[in-house]
């Protein structure tokens, strides 16, 4: 029989000297409260861009256009038609396509070109490829030059900044389109005589160089202002105090903080170059034969507007939709990258 007068042995629940056990607390989600997930500025911009219907529609249009342009050789292989093939046997005595709506048939979905007899669909697809290549290459070249000049001017200060600003003002003083109309034929005559036909790649490279070297000023001025506003910020001072060099500060500290306006500038430069390239081809200063081009298709269709309006409609509508989609997507991208935007 146990001794009832003996005090009970101390336990962890009654002993004040015993260590306190940790009690598990349910997370906020388990308690019925929504869990807060932090997002980076890039993630927030992507979410705003995905929720924008205009961005989705215009982005889908651009993806389809880019896919069609990249698959142009595949379309030629499937149809067995080359963009330079001429079906003169399907033209009447006046050089007009025989059949309905400019010769539209199962073998030629958009008809034939009056006079030459080339397939309009293949000309359109390969012309879209040419326009997109020239526009993107020019935009990348202009952005590269503009970012390099803008970073140097904004960081260097002093006489170098003044010289760059003077160069930007001098470049902006040139009327770009008139200068392009004058310089492209002059440079071509400098390398090729009148009896020599320059290769199509030479004219394309000449157009890209002209666009890129005379369209960098807006990007340079934008980047210069961004660098001036960021070079005295705390993170730059901390990088200097840590012994970081100028190259590290420029490429690892400043450029990652100004990529958003640069991206918006590129997205808005592309439709501008598409329209300017079409305008140069329209006045017969752009891409030469036999390279397909949308602007030259419109130029060639001037004499057939009354008799075959479809020939003018297809390339004109393609340029209109392409430029509109790029402009709408650029506006949506700018709004999504703006942290103060409510879209």
* Structural domain includes residue 44: no
- Report the 3 state secondary structure along the chain: CCCCCCCCCCCCCCCCCCCCCCCCCCCCCCCCCCCCCCCCHHHHHHHHHHHCHHHHHHHHHHHHHHHHHHCHHHHHHHHCCCCCCECHHHECCCCCECCCCCCCCCCCCCCECCCCCEEHHHHHHHHHHHHHHHHHHHHHHHHHHHHHHHHHHHHHCHHHHHHHHHHHHHHHHCCHHHHHHHHHHHHHHHHCCCCCCCCHHHHHHHHHHHHHHCCCHHHHHHHHHHHHHHCCCHHHHHHHHCCCCHHHHHHHHHHHHCHHHHHHHHHHHHHHHHHHHHHHHHCCCCCCCCCCCHHHHHHHCHHHCCCCHHHHHHHHHHHHHHHHHHHHHHHHHHHHHCCCCCC
| Phi–psi pair at 59, nearest 5 degrees | -65, -40
Distance CA(109)–CA(181), nearest Å, equals 35
Distance CA(343)–CA(335), nearest Å, equals 7
For 180, 209, 226, 236, 270, the CA distances from 147, given in Å and listed in that order, are 23, 16, 11, 19, 16
What tens digit of pLDDT does each residue of 283-305 get?
A: 888 888 888 999 989 988 888 88
- Which pLDDT does position 321 carry in this prediction? 95
* Structural domain includes residue 146: yes
Q: Is the pLDDT of residue 2 over 60?
A: no
What tens digit of pLDDT does each residue of 240-263 get?
A: 888 888 888 888 888 888 888 899
Mean pLDDT rounded to a whole number for the chain: 83
* Structural domain includes residue 4: no
* Structural domain includes residue 20: no
Distance CA(256)–CA(247), nearest Å, equals 13
Mean pLDDT in residue range 136-164: 90
Q: Which of 246, 239, 271, 263 is nearest to 147 (CA)?
A: 263
Least confident of 28-32, 169-173, 193-197: 28-32
Residue 263: give its domain's CATH number: 1.10.3720.10
- Which pLDDT does position 272 carry in this prediction? 92
Q: Is the pLDDT of residue 8 over 90?
A: no
Rg, the chain, Cα only = 31
Q: Is the pLDDT of residue 310 over 50?
A: yes
* Structural domain includes residue 29: no
Distance CA(50)–CA(200), nearest Å, equals 40
Mean pLDDT in residue range 104-132: 91
* Structural domain includes residue 134: yes
Q: Is the pLDDT of residue 100 over 80?
A: no
- Which pLDDT does position 191 carry in this prediction? 83
Give residue 34's pLDDT band: very low, low, confident or very high (50, 70, 90): low
Using CB atoms within 10 A of its CB, is residue 95 exposed (0-12), middle (13-18) or buried (19+)? middle
Domain count for the chain:
1
Give residue 32's pLDDT band: very low, low, confident or very high (50, 70, 90): low
Mean pLDDT in residue range 10-15: 47
Domain residues for 328?
50-337
Mean pLDDT in residue range 208-222: 90
Mean pLDDT in residue range 70-89: 90
* Structural domain includes residue 193: yes
Mean pLDDT in residue range 49-55: 90
Give residue 27's pLDDT band: very low, low, confident or very high (50, 70, 90): low
Q: Is the pLDDT of residue 145 over 90?
A: yes
Least confident of 29-33, 179-183, 196-200: 29-33
* Structural domain includes residue 3: no
pTM of the entire predicted model: 0.83
Percent of the chain with pLDDT over 70: 87
Other beta carbons within 10 angstroms of residue 316's beta carbon come to 17
Contact predicate 287/248, CB 8 Å: no
Mean pLDDT in residue range 305-310: 86
Mean pLDDT in residue range 33-57: 78
């Amino acid at each position: 029989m146990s001794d009832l007068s003996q005090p009970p042995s101390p336990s962890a629940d009654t002993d004040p000297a015993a260590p306190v056990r940790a009690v598990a607390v349910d997370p906020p989600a388990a308690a019925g409260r929504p869990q807060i997930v932090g997002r980076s500025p890039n993630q927030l911009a992507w979410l705003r861009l995905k929720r924008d219907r205009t961005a989705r529609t215009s982005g889908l249009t651009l993806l389809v256009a880019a896919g069609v342009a990249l698959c142009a050789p595949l379309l030629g292989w499937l149809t067995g038609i080359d963009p330079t093939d001429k079906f003169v046997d399907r033209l009447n005595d006046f050089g007009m396509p025989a059949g309905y709506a400019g010769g539209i048939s199962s073998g030629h979905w958009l008809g034939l070109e009056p006079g030459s007899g080339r397939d309009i669909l293949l000309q359109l697809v390969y012309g879209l490829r040419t326009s997109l290549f020239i526009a993107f290459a020019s935009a990348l070249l202009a952005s590269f030059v503009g970012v390099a000049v803008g970073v140097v001017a904004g960081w260097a200060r002093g006489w170098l900044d003044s010289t760059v600003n003077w160069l930007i003002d001098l470049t902006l003083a040139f009327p770009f389109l008139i200068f392009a109309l004058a310089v492209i034929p002059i440079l071509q005559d400098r390398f090729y005589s009148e009896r020599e036909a320059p290769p199509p790649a030479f004219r394309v490279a000449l157009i890209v160089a002209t666009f890129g070297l005379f369209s960098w000023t807006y990007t340079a001025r934008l980047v210069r202002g961004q660098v001036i506003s960021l070079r005295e910020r705390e993170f730059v001072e901390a990088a200097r105090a840590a012994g970081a060099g100028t190259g590290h500060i420029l490429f690892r500290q400043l450029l990652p903080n100004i990529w958003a306006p640069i991206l918006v500038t590129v997205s808005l430069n592309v439709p501008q170059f598409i329209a300017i390239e079409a305008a140069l081809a329209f006045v017969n200063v752009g891409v030469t034969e036999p390279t397909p081009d949308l602007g030259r298709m419109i130029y060639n269709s001037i004499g057939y507007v009354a008799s075959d309006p479809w020939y003018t409609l297809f390339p004109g509508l393609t340029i209109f939709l392409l430029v509109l989609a790029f402009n709408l997507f650029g506006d949506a991208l700018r709004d999504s990258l703006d942290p103060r935007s409510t879209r």
